[in-house]
Amino acid sequence: MKFGGTSVASIERIRNVAQHVKREVDAGHEVAVVVSAMSGKTNELVGWAAEASPLHDAREYDAVVASGEQVTSGLLAIALQAVGIQARSWQGWQIPIRTSDAHGAARILEIDGGEIIKRFAERKEVAVVSGFQGVSKDTGRITTLGRGGSDTSAVAIAAAIRADRCDIYTDVDGVYTTDPRVVPKAKRLEKVAFEEMLELASQGAKVLQVRSVELGMVHNVRVFVRSSFDKPEDIDAHANHPPGTLICSEEEIVEQQVVTGIAFSKDEAQISVRQVQDKPGVAAAIFGPLAEANINVDMIVQNVSEDGATTDLTFTVPAADYMRAKETITKAKDAIGYTRLDTATDVAKVSVIGIGMRSHAGVAAQAFKALSARNINIRAITTSEIKFSLLIDAAYTELAVRTLHTLYGLDA
């Protein structure tokens, strides 16, 4: 069971979480719980580190920000003990969750769930684990897994203790066909395949962190997204289907829609490198420096310039990396040899996702027709086996999402 920041935002909410855990323990389940820091706490800790020194040591930054989860795990263990449940808190280093040495964005290398399993058997003890943190395999120092890392901790621990399921409790009651704030007719999905969730999460759906879905897929850990705001006493712990969305392997899904969901992201920036010599090595000259600067490039479109002898390369980067990407390309101007650099930040990416696309032709063509009927211009297109993404002007995002949601029969 994993609880995010809003679920543990106050002592009252932590007591509510304790009741959710008690319900599962009383039903005879062995439970490990992963908690995030209380809502707003991580931002406060990050602010303090920046105030102490703008250029701070990443190792000490991790030591500071990991303390938020340490507080929550201790408080939840106390709240569980108060309602008669055996419980103890675990920090990442105590299990241990061994990670790489990349402070602030460490990757989990291995977890030993042996001690937690042993305590289930011997004491029926609930393990309350601090999410988002681990310990460097090489240096023995505290590391953190990047924002949203508690989801990743939870799925990794579920894999390590061979759990039947990993329940992610959040402030929504599942995964929807798209953001219900944009499309009120969006409906909750009963089941989503790992591959689809991976695309939804990486294309802008904020429900789960991408790495947690990857881990679930690799270790075949079924992930269940559900709401922590449902009253604990209203949920039947023995029921097969409490309200929520199960993320599982494709084989478990019988009824397969052509399109499962629509994700969108406004955090995109477009960069066009104009009139580059059309010769081998040009793409490497552009994308090599961006890779070295750790900038993720998403959509790439190449077309021949008006003069026919040169080429234009257009690509997108996350809005947060826009200035760095622009500087990186400008610095490499001599090596690339371009005439002009055009950029735009008022763009959005809309992605249509569904495993059913593998066996249905013309799914994307329908979208192009529907959007052109609304006078929405498409700047770039990328496709994969189970999704296609369209880059459009940001002003049309909501209209495009609503149009496509209706087109593919997703309206409730």
- Burial (CB < 10 A; 0-12, 13-18, 19+), residue 143, is buried
pLDDT value of position 279? 85
Please give the Cα distance from 242 to 227 (Å, whole number).
10
Tokens of 368: 């192009």
Q: Are 121 and 161 in contact (CB under 8 A)?
A: no
Token pair of 48 as six digits? 């303090």
Q: Look-up: residue for tokens 């004491």?
A: 123
Burial class (CB in 10 A: 0-12, 13-18, 19+), 254: exposed
Q: Which two tokens stand for residue 198?
A: 């991976």
Q: What is the pLDDT of residues 234-258, one digit of tens each?
A: 888 777 667 899 999 999 988 778 9
Assess contact for 86 and 124: CB atoms under 8 A. yes
DSSP-based three-state secondary structure for 263 = strand
Residues of the chain predicted below pLDDT 50:
none
Residues 6+ apart with CB under 8 A from 17: 3, 7, 8, 33, 35, 76, 79, 169, 228
Four-residue CA torsion sign, 226, 149, 72, 114: positive
Supply the pLDDT for residue 347: 96
Q: Which amino acid appears at position 257 of this protein? A: Q
The CA distances from residue 86 to 89, 124, 125, 163, in Å, are 11, 7, 5, 19
- Cite the DSSP H helix spans in 231-281: none
96: cis peptide before it, omega within 30°?
yes
Instruction: Specify whether the CB–CB gap between 48 and 64 falls below 8 A.
Output: yes
Residue 60 and residue 101: Cα distance in Å, rounded? 13
Q: State the Cα–Cα distance between residues 350 and 390, nearest whole angstrom.
A: 5
Q: Which helix (H) or strand (E) holds 209?
A: none
The residue type at 240: N
How does DSSP assign 288-354, residue by residue? HHHHHTTPPP--EEEEE-TTSSEEEEEEEEEGGGHHHHHHHHHHTHHHHT-SEEEEEEEEEEEEEE-
Which domains, and CATH codes, for the chain? 2-250 (3.40.1160.10), 261-407 (3.30.2130.10)
